[in-house]
Amino acid sequence: MISHNDITGDKIRTKGVFSKEAEDRFDEIFRKKPEWKKHDSSDTIPEQADAWIEVETWTSESFKELARNLEWKYVKFYRVVDNKDEK
């Protein structure tokens, strides 16, 4: 069954999962900030284990955690902060 927009009559298509290239391009345009570092989605901890890391999420929120406690394979962008309470 094909769905149509009730106003325009256009076909409605769902977007699939981004390709790696599209995801990187999306990050480059919309998510990358100068002070943030891009992580390669590996399990490697690129910073000292006791460093506080602020992780950018796909929502407007971010969170802070010790580097050793993060699941680095899910981290896209991060930055090192002095402490958990830094804004």
Q: What is the tens place of the pLDDT at every residue in 38-59?
A: 888 899 999 999 999 999 877 7
Q: Give the separation between CA 76 and CA 42, rounded to whole angstroms.
A: 10
What's the pLDDT at 10? 81
pTM: 0.59
How would you list the strands of the sheet with 77-81, edge to edge?
A: 37-38, 77-81, 52-56, 62-66
What's the pLDDT at 9? 80
User: Alpha-carbon torsion 22, 23, 25, 30, what sign?
Assistant: positive
User: Would you put residue 41 in left (φ > 0), alpha (ψ -120 to 50) or beta?
Assistant: left
What's the pLDDT at 65? 94
- The mean predicted confidence, pLDDT, of the chain is 81
- Given a cut of 70, the residues of the chain with pLDDT beneath it are 1-2, 14-18, 23-24, 27-33, 87
